[in-house]
Amino acid sequence: MVSFSGSTAVAGIGATEFSKQSGRSELQLAAEAVSAALDDAGLTPSDVDGLVTYTQDANDEIAVAREVGIGDLSFFSRVHYGGGAACGTVLHAAMAVATGVAETVVCYRAFNERSGRRFGQPDARIGGEPSSQGLEMSWHVPYGLMTPAAWVAMFAQRYMHAYGVTSEDFGRVAVAMRRHASTNPAAWFYQRPITLEEHQASRWIVEPLHLLDCCQESDGAVALVVTSAERARDLRRSPVLITGAAQGAGAGQMMMTSYYRDDMTGLPEMGVVGGRLWEQSGLGPSDVQTAILYDHFTPFVLTQLEELGFCGRGEARDFVAGGGIEIDGHLPVNPHGGQLGEAYIHGMNGIAEAVRQIRGTSVNQVSGVHNVLVTAGTGVPTSGLILSAE
Amino acid sequence: MTAGTGAAEGGTFHERLTALAERRIEMGEVRGVAAADPVNLPMIRHWTDAIGDANPLYTDPEAAEGGVHGEIVAPPAMIQVWSMPGVRRSGRQVSTPVDDVLRMLDENGHTGVVATNCEQTYHRYVRLGERPVPATRFAGLSGPKRTALGEGYFVTWNVTWYAGDEPVATMLFRVLKFRPREREEVPPPKPATINAAPRAPYLLRPATPMDDAARTPDPPKTVTAMDDAAPRAPYPLRPAVNRDTEFFWEGVAKGELRIQKCAGCGELRHPPGPVCPSCRSADRTYVVAGGEGEVYSYVVHHHPPVPGRETPFVVAVVELPEGVRMVGNVTECASSEVGIGMPVRVTYRQMDDELTLPMWIPREA
């Protein structure tokens, strides 16, 4: 059986600036990020023969190829389920490279999520079509349960009830992310840390979530170059090995409203991903020096720590207490500031940070990083990665 | 082409509209045509009779002479009546600074109009023989706003009526010009037919400012569209319904909360689906739930605004003793009273002429 684990690598990363109004089209953002990633890798557009993005991305692979000057493509693929696609794009790319379907695949995500279509705004149309997803939404949207914050808040309330978790526990995640972002010049919230009191004082969005439990909305793009580890060794940057890559959906899964499973306090789909990652890599939580955990909303950062085995069920509140996930804690999470602090690029910016942590080039570098775990969108069918140094 | 609209042909509709609105604001107040007839007793008599105002100071010369005004005066709320252009608009017309803004909205598909605000201030009574002259000032444009009726712009203007150079009354008038929701886009669920008197929202057909006035000859009302009109408008958050789910919505329309039951193995399932995951049977029936449940989890939605809803509102996952969960709103209690484990029972709320939703209200444990 062909395996991509250890034989494929991320060879380049590229990004645009992160803003609230890019002032240019999403296609331009995509092209800029892809070109930057190729420059970083020391490759040219003609080296690329595969492209992968999200089903939600508005830029077709062929359109990006035209803008960047990429020639023939032998592989193109899309990953579904919103931000759950992030690490899945790398999985698809790695599979293509490992099987010889393609040699150099670029994964990208580009959007004007703040100045264009904002995911946080209610859209009455999402329940309107009798597709499987439209019907799924139709059990929720008529009641006004129709924003990502609300969908997540429903899980968060039950989680709080089950384990005695408080809003302040969620707030500690936000404080950590904003602390990290405050020393990252690329972050939107550069030099703007927050206190727990500010978190508590921020207005309700959907109880139990305050404004500062919700990630920002951003314009921008990120791209990643995936190729074989062997080839990556000859390129400009030290290879960042793909040790593990997995997608996961759980039994009884819905897009973001999996309220009908026995338990509402976990993320079974992330459990699927975690199990696969540890199995592929032969690693465990103690082998990871820093983690990039998807943080569109604070509560699921706690759930992920439990689901991935960094702590036991219901113990994440203690794990994050006292700065446990801050840069100097026992598991630094999102040293770039995450989506709460750096930018919301649908998880793709987190993968880029993982690459920098392995390379040792992050502005908030964690010492002695050998393995980084990365996750994608939570509450949805999702994906994850373990990236490693040689 | 109307004057001025050619200056900013480039840009998005919003940019062009905003540019036009800015130019119209700069125009300031534009005087219209004086009342066709002087303020007169026959018209006052008809109007007060229709309204039911028996105050003799408006109609009885003797009473008026002995009253505070010393002569007949018109009811202040009649002020719009005097300058109305008439149904056929046969008299001389002067365009107002509002006309081409409304026209531009019409041409862009914002053909719906609902009057949201009308506030009048009376400076003095108008006397017989005076001929009020309306003057219109474009006051502002805001939008696009997503409303229960559809996406639209709020357009605001002021009218001042002058007798000679003296202002006698002023009015703020605001309409929402909206793009009506396309019914094809969101088909209503088949089953929802409920007997209830349809309630007409305070809707007007596309109109110019003076048209609006023409169709509201009664005393001006203040209508707050989002508070008042929204529940009467078609409820915007409609479920998609197909053959696998229509039994549920048919049940709701009849006041039954139905749970899918597999005809093969008897398993209950919500949300329903076409094939039983336990025994593969596609034969389905349903049971009617007892209508009681407990809150399993819940949220209180504050922000952002949700079409067709007033915030805050509560949405809960309700666990039924039958062994399934359903999502719905908890109503008829303060959001602070809702908690996990709270006993609730189902009720039904008609959202518009076609859609009924199950709702949950507190019950004694």
Per-residue pLDDT tens over the stretch A245-303: 999 999 999 999 999 999 999 999 999 999 999 999 999 999 999 999 999 999 999 99
Q: Is the pLDDT of residue A169 over 50?
A: yes
A92-144 residue pLDDT tens: 999 999 999 999 999 999 999 999 999 999 887 776 778 999 999 999 999 99
CB contact under 8 A, B299 and A153: yes
A30: nearest Cα among A62, A2, A71: A62
pLDDT band at residue A2 under the 50/70/90 scheme? confident
The number of angstroms, rounded, from the C-alpha of B215 to the middle of its chain's C-alpha atoms is 17
A29 vs A221: CA distance, rounded Å:
6
**Same structural domain for residues B147 and B251?**
no
| Count of beta carbons in the 10 Å neighbourhood of residue A312 | 11
Mean pLDDT is lowest, of A89-93, A334-338, B117-121, for: B117-121
B358 residue type, one letter:
P
- Taking each helix axis as running N to C, give the angle between helix A86-98 and helix A348-359, from 0 to 180 degrees, rounded to the nearest 10: 60
User: The domain containing residue B28 runs over which residues?
Assistant: 13-178
Lookup: tokens for A84 = 């759950």
Domain containing residue B346: CATH number: 2.40.50.840
Q: Classify residue B3: in a domain, yes or no.
A: no
Q: Which residue has the tokens 């557009």?
A: A45
pLDDT band at residue B217 under the 50/70/90 scheme? very low
B237: nearest Cα among B357, B110, B349, B109: B357
Q: Classify residue B183: in a domain, yes or no.
A: no
Average pLDDT over residues B307-327: 97
Q: How far is CA A273 from CA A186, A276, A280, A351, B347, in A?
A: 29, 5, 11, 16, 41
Q: Is the pLDDT of residue B265 over 70?
A: yes
**Same structural domain for residues B279 and B323?**
yes
SS3 call for A47: helix
Mean pLDDT is lowest, of A309-318, B65-74, B200-209, for: B200-209
Q: Classify residue B8: in a domain, yes or no.
A: no
Mean pLDDT is lowest, of A46-55, A304-313, B113-122, for: B113-122
**Nearest beta carbon to residue A130 from set B241, B324, B335:** B241
What is the dihedral sign for C-alpha B48, B51, B54, B58? Answer: negative
**Same structural domain for residues B67 and B123?**
yes
**Same structural domain for residues B79 and B220?**
no
Residues of B in contact with A143 (CB under 8 A): 237, 315, 327-329, 357
Distance from CA of A291 to the nearest CA of B (A): 29
Mean pLDDT is lowest, of A14-28, A294-308, B157-171, B280-294, for: B157-171
What radius of gyration do chain B's Cα atoms show? Answer: 28
Residue B186: half-sphere exposure toward Cβ, Cα within 13 Å: 21
Strand order from edge to edge, sheet including A75-79: A75-79, A50-54, A104-112, A219-228, A8-15, A240-248, A382-388, A371-375, A290-292
What per-residue confidence (pLDDT) applies to B66? 85
Residues of B in contact with A205 (CB under 8 A): 302-303
* Residue A202: burial class (beta carbons within 10 Å; 0-12, 13-18, 19+): middle
Average pLDDT over residues B292-317: 97
Q: Classify residue B186: in a domain, yes or no.
A: no
Q: What is the DSSP letter of A19?
A: B
B261 vs B88: CA distance, rounded Å:
63
**Same structural domain for residues B124 and B212?**
no
- Let me know if A81 is a catalytic residue: no
CB contact under 8 A, B271 and A157: no
H or E element in which residue A248 lies: strand A240-248
A178-211 residue pLDDT tens: 999 999 999 999 999 999 999 999 999 999 999 9
Q: Is the pLDDT of residue A85 over 80?
A: yes
Q: Is the pLDDT of residue A38 over 80?
A: yes
Q: DSSP letter string over A308-333?
A: TTSS-TT-HHHHHGGGTTSTTSSS-B
**Nearest beta carbon to residue B299 from set A129, A131, A206:** A206
CB contact under 8 A, A146 and B306: yes
Q: Classify residue B241: in a domain, yes or no.
A: yes
What per-residue confidence (pLDDT) applies to B212? 38
What per-residue confidence (pLDDT) applies to B184? 43
Q: Which residue of B has its CA nearest to A204?
A: B302
Q: Is the pLDDT of residue B15 over 80?
A: yes
Q: End of a domain among B178, B211, B240?
A: B178
A207-226 residue pLDDT tens: 999 999 999 999 999 999 99
Q: Return the exposure string of B202-237: e unless at least 16 CB atoms fall within 10 Å of the residue's CB, then b.
A: eeeeebbbbbbbbebeeebeebebbeebbbbbbbbb
Q: Return the exposure string of A60-76: e unless at least 16 CB atoms fall within 10 Å of the residue's CB, then b.
A: ebeebbebbebeebebb
B26 vs B337: CA distance, rounded Å:
52
What per-residue confidence (pLDDT) applies to B207? 31
Number of domains in chain B: 2
What per-residue confidence (pLDDT) applies to B6? 39
CB A206 within 8 A of CB A153: yes
**Same structural domain for residues B150 and B230?**
no
B147-174 residue pLDDT tens: 878 889 999 989 999 988 888 998 989 9
Residues of A in contact with B351 (CB under 8 A): 142
**Same structural domain for residues B114 and B222?**
no
**Same structural domain for residues B84 and B212?**
no
A49-74 residue pLDDT tens: 999 999 999 999 999 999 999 999 99
What per-residue confidence (pLDDT) applies to B182? 63
Mean pLDDT is lowest, of A13-22, A374-383, B195-204, B228-237, for: B195-204
Strand order from edge to edge, sheet including B284-288: B268-269, B258-262, B284-288
**Same structural domain for residues B172 and B219?**
no
What per-residue confidence (pLDDT) applies to B232? 58
Q: Classify residue B1: in a domain, yes or no.
A: no
What per-residue confidence (pLDDT) applies to B56? 87
Q: Is the pLDDT of residue B143 over 50?
A: yes
What per-residue confidence (pLDDT) applies to B26? 83
Higher pLDDT, B67 or B348: B348
SS3 call for A10: strand
Q: End of a domain among B178, B200, B220?
A: B178
What per-residue confidence (pLDDT) applies to B224? 32
Q: Which domains are seen in chain A, by residue range?
A: 8-116+215-388 (3.40.47.10)
- Peptide bond preceding B312: is omega within 30 degrees of 0, i.e. cis? yes
Average pLDDT over residues B278-290: 97
CB B303 within 8 A of CB A203: yes
CB A256 within 8 A of CB B327: no
What per-residue confidence (pLDDT) applies to B288? 98
Q: Which residue of A has its CA nearest to B298?
A: A154
Q: Number of A:B CB contacts under 8 A?
A: 132
B204 vs B162: CA distance, rounded Å:
27
Residues in chain A: 390
A356 vs A342: CA distance, rounded Å:
14
Q: Which residue has the tokens 């005087």?
A: B31
What per-residue confidence (pLDDT) applies to A87? 98
Q: Is the pLDDT of residue B9 over 70?
A: no
A389 vs A12: CA distance, rounded Å:
14
Q: Classify residue B157: in a domain, yes or no.
A: yes
Judge whether A158 is closer than 8 Å to chain B, CB to CB. Answer: yes
Q: Classify residue B150: in a domain, yes or no.
A: yes
What per-residue confidence (pLDDT) applies to A57? 98
B150 vs A143: CA distance, rounded Å:
18
**Same structural domain for residues B61 and B147?**
yes
CB contact under 8 A, B302 and A207: yes
**Same structural domain for residues B272 and B338?**
yes
ipTM, two decimals, is 0.96
**Same structural domain for residues B248 and B271?**
yes
Domain containing residue B74: CATH number: 3.10.129.10
The 3-state secondary structure of chain B reads: CCCCHHHHCCCCHHHHHHHHHHHHHHCCEEECCCCCCCCCHHHHHHHHHHHCCCCHHHCCHHHHHHCCCCCCEECHHHHHHHCCCCCCCCCCCCCCCCHHHHHHHHHCCCCEEEEEEEEEEECCCEECCCCCEEEEEEEEEEEEEECCCCEEEEEEEEEEEEECCEEEEEEEEEEEEECCCCCCCCCCCCCCCCCCCCCCCCEECCCCHHHHHHCCCCCCCCCCHHHHHCCCCCCCCCCCCCCCCHHHHHHHHCCCCEEEEECCCCCEECCCCCCCCCCCCCCEEEEECCCEEEEEEEEEECCCCCCCCCCCEEEEEEECCCCCEEEEEECCCCHHHCCCCCEEEEEEEECCCCCEEEEEEECCC
- Let me know if A143 is a catalytic residue: no
Distance from CA of B150 to the nearest CA of A (A): 10
β-partners of residue B30 are B136
Q: End of a domain among B127, B150, B178?
A: B178
Phi-psi region of B358 (alpha: psi -120 to 50; beta: other; left: phi over 0): beta
* Residue B336: burial class (beta carbons within 10 Å; 0-12, 13-18, 19+): exposed
Q: Is the pLDDT of residue B202 over 80?
A: no
Judge whether B249 is closer than 8 Å to chain A, CB to CB. Answer: no
Residues of B in contact with A125 (CB under 8 A): 185-186
CB B206 within 8 A of CB B111: yes
